[in-house]
Copies of this chain bind each other. A is one copy, B any other.
Amino acid sequence: MTATTRVRLSPEERRSQLLDLGVRLLATRSLDELSIDVLAEEAGISRGLLYHYFGNKHAFHEAVVRRAADDLIAQTAPPAQGEPLERLLTSVTAYVDYVVTNYEGYLSLVKGAAGGNDTLREIYDEARSALTDRVFREDAQGTIITDTPTARLVVRGWAAMTEELVITWRADPSGVSREELLEIIAASLPALVGVIPG
């Protein structure tokens, strides 16, 4: 068919192109439907080239997930200035909007990472931390929360809850406004922290 002459790119360009395409395709299919065949076809290259760059399918999937996670992290960076609670709200808002906009792709990312191997889960965990730890890293005064094992556990739980809320809401927003959702998420953290025994 497309008997075009082969195009030769620099390794960085090619690698980047393939990763971008991989992330983009996650909006249409799940991670494990993202086969070497499909990717090569869409990219207009041979399957062999993918192996040249990524070694095997798992490694390719890892690289794609990492790229997607980096996108997320970059777009939800909390502001450098402001009150802890205010920064929290800003960051959460960015997260909600990101998920709303990139819904299908985000779903593939989450499901793929959760169902995948340990490496995938680690990458995903890092992205989650970006949403939580960063906001409190500079909250050394403990305005919101003091750093204990229990507090860490609760914050982690809060992050899981937040993800579930946003995904569920985005799938069916009926009856709940974006502002209500944001309010619930932001107010939840102090409420949960208040529940810590001791």
User: Which residues from chain A sit less than 8 Å from chain B, CB to CB?
Assistant: 30-32, 110-112, 114-117, 148-150, 153-154, 156-165, 168-169, 174-176, 180-181, 183-184, 187-188, 191-192, 194-197
Contacts and interface: CB of A to CB of B under 8 A. Distances in A.
Given A157-B168, A157-B188, A161-B192, 15 more contacts: A30-B117, A111-B114, A111-B116, A114-B115, A115-B116, A149-B175, A150-B184, A153-B176, A153-B181, A156-B164, A161-B161, A161-B164, A183-B195, A184-B197, A188-B195
Which of A115, A157, A162, A174 is most buried by chain B, counting CB atoms within 10 A of its CB? A157
Q: When A and B form their complex, which 5 residue pairs have the shortest distance between CB atoms, in order from nearest?
A: A115-B115, A149-B175, A160-B164, A161-B161, A157-B161
25 contacts: A30-B117, A32-B32, A32-B115, A111-B114, A111-B116, A112-B115, A114-B114, A115-B115, A148-B175, A149-B175, A150-B180, A156-B165, A156-B168, A157-B162, A157-B168, A158-B161, A160-B161, A160-B164, A161-B161, A184-B195, A188-B195, A191-B191, A191-B192, A191-B194, A192-B192
A34 B8 CA distance: 41
A156 B157 CA distance: 13
B150 A176 contact: yes
Indicate the member of A114, A161, A164 with the most B CB atoms within 10 Å: A161
Contacts of A115: 30-32, 111-112, 114-116
Contacts of A114: 110-111, 114-115
A181 to B, nearest CB: 8
A187 B191 CA distance: 10
> For A148, A153, A163, which residue has the most chain B Cβ atoms within 10 angstroms?
A153
